[in-house]
Amino acid sequence: MAELTSFCANAGVDLLAMRDAEGFDHIAKRDAAVEALLVDEETRNDFTGKARQVRKVFKALLPNPKAGAQQRTVAAIRVLHERIVEVTRPPEADISAVSDAVDALLDRSVGAEEYVIWAAAEGTNPDPLIDLSLIDFDGLAAKFAGRRRAETDRLAQVLRQQAIGAALRNPTRYELVERIEQLIEDYNAGSVNIDEYLRRLIELSQTLTTEEERAVREGMTEEELAIFDLLTQPDPVLTAAERETVKASAKQLLEHLNEKLVQDWRRKVATTNDVNSTIRRVLDQSLPEVPYTVDIFHTKVQLVFDHVLTAYGDNGESAYSPRIDFSYPGEHVQIEHGGPIDVNKVADDVVARIHADPAFAAQVAAQLQPERPMPGREGGHAYR
């Protein structure tokens, strides 16, 4: 206990003062302590390791009265440890749809030919899903004042989840996911300071927002844009007229696929083969012949089929289905808001909601200060 208290003091954390504080003062001291202990990965790891050891020893000594006397201090250590784990852990994602896609791909992989399954393994549903275009990046510096490391780590994890969701809707965006994950790795390794880390995160956020708005600029839906991008990136090189032809091809293909993606379509061999055949047939009939050589055509058919297999579920849902925009962290507690709010009993759930819900924040302010209110060609071409 003394060793951990001394460690915290060297990191600029008064553990005992945080333990004894109450209400908003306790929350402020806790957040300041988390910020100090997140100064670098070594400090964070050292603290979490020591905190686990203290809690283990404490439990082993109970019910010794001398151990009981340290209960409040151990509780403070637990609060700090759990808070650090919370702000540095990525939000858990619902991967059931991806698991179904992987199962379907594995079922199809049992055959005479080699089958590529990496695309499905990379998909996941973002949670929470936040519209980054609505974030006021000019105000981030002020918002992060006093708790920059914790808030920046949280922004990095939300941004990563948002990019993963965008990549599931459009596989050509996986490069953005890789850039974000590399930046997080570089920061944790100490090769990027927090100011540069935040600057690059904001830059990547704006890049992702611009990318997610591209469908509107192209005059397409997110679903159409995903197929269009798979058909055009990184090759072939197209003229302006050929690009318009490929756009029409992507839209036409989706119209044909909508009636094929029925309940449990990935689990029925006949239906899955029909989807694959439809992709080959429609693309063969609608893509411009000259730029799409035999090799390029076969590659594009496989890429589109892999994407459809991953993005469209067996239960009618898809990567494009509407999702909840925000979920509160931690365990949820039912809160009654009818009467005055006791600041000494404010929990993390309330603080999280104050940050996320402007209307609720205004209600709290009013109660505290009442006066202030994304094989071969068929048809006429046969094999190219």
| Lookup: tokens for 152 | 């920046």
Q: Can you count the helices (H) and strands (E) in the chain?
A: 19, 0
Q: What is the pLDDT of residues 83-98, one digit of tens each?
A: 787 777 665 555 555 5
Q: What angle do CA 115, 119, 315 make, to 5 degrees?
A: 100
Beta-strand runs (E) in the chain: none
Q: How far apart are CA 49 and CA 194, in angstroms?
A: 23
Q: How far apart are CA 167 and CA 59, in angstroms?
A: 45
Domains of the chain, by residue range, sit at 2-88, 126-212, 220-311, 328-373
Q: How far apart are CA 303 and CA 306, in angstroms?
A: 5
Query: Measuring CA to CA, how many Å separate 214 from each of 13, 208, 224, 234?
Result: 46, 10, 11, 17
Q: How far apart are CA 165 and CA 97, in angstroms?
A: 13
Q: What is the pLDDT of residue 236?
A: 93
Q: How far apart are CA 55 and CA 135, in angstroms?
A: 39
Which residue reads 């951990």 in tokens? Answer: 4
Q: What is the pLDDT of residue 10?
A: 87
Q: What is the pLDDT of residues 209-227, one digit of tens each?
A: 999 899 999 899 999 999 9
Q: Which residues of the chain, if any, have pLDDT below 50?
A: 108-130, 324-349, 370-384
Contacts for 37 with CB less than 8 Å, ≥ 6 apart = 8, 11, 13, 43, 44, 47, 80, 84
Query: What is the dihedral sign for C-alpha 67, 69, 74, 75?
Result: positive
| Lookup: tokens for 180 | 């974000």
Helix axes 41-61, 71-88, angle to 10 degrees: 140
Q: How far apart are CA 126 and CA 158, in angstroms?
A: 9
Q: Given 3-state DSSP classes, what are the helix, strand and coil percentages for the chain, each rounded to the nearest 5? A: 65, 0, 35
Q: How many alpha carbons lie under 13 Å from residue 230 in its C-beta half-sphere?
A: 29
pTM over 0.85: no
Q: What is the pLDDT of residue 303?
A: 92
Chain-centroid distance, C-alpha 223:
20
Q: What is the pLDDT of residue 251?
A: 94
Q: Which residues pair with 312 in a beta bridge?
A: 318
Question: By three-state DSSP, how is residue 293 classified?
Answer: coil
Q: How far apart are CA 233 and CA 304, in angstroms?
A: 12
